[in-house]
Amino acid sequence: MTINAASFRELRLDRLSRDFGTHNALKDVSLTIGKGEFIALLGPSGCGKSTTLNLIAGLLPATGGGIWLDDKRIDPLRPEERGFGMVFQNYALFPHM
């Protein structure tokens, strides 16, 4: 089953956490994004911005909390089933070329 992310009304992060060994990269992050809203994740290097996006896209598993699209929990779904994409800032394999 694939989710149609374009038709959602609300994306919700509920006490989302991610640990890397003993390092806690995200701890109890909660956020609600409504349909048509634009958000920006701002912060210094290493504060968890990319980790949050990777969790939403399904490229990393959460170690706590959950991700909801409307009333459907999506964090157990594989990345290809979520209907989300992610574009990295450094898009070139060899940026010097």
pLDDT digits (tens, 9 = 90+) for 3-33: 666 677 899 999 999 999 999 999 999 999 9
Q: Binning pLDDT at 50, 70 and 90, where does residue 66 land?
A: very high
d(CA 26, CA 24): 6
65's tokens: 């909390």
Q: Binning pLDDT at 50, 70 and 90, where does residue 85 land?
A: confident
Fold topology of 8-80: Rossmann fold (3.40.50)
H or E element in which residue 56 lies: helix 49-57
Of 2 and 69, the structure prediction assigns the larger pLDDT to 69
What average pLDDT does the chain have? 88
Give the Cβ contact number of residue 57 at 10 Å. 14
pLDDT at 97: 60
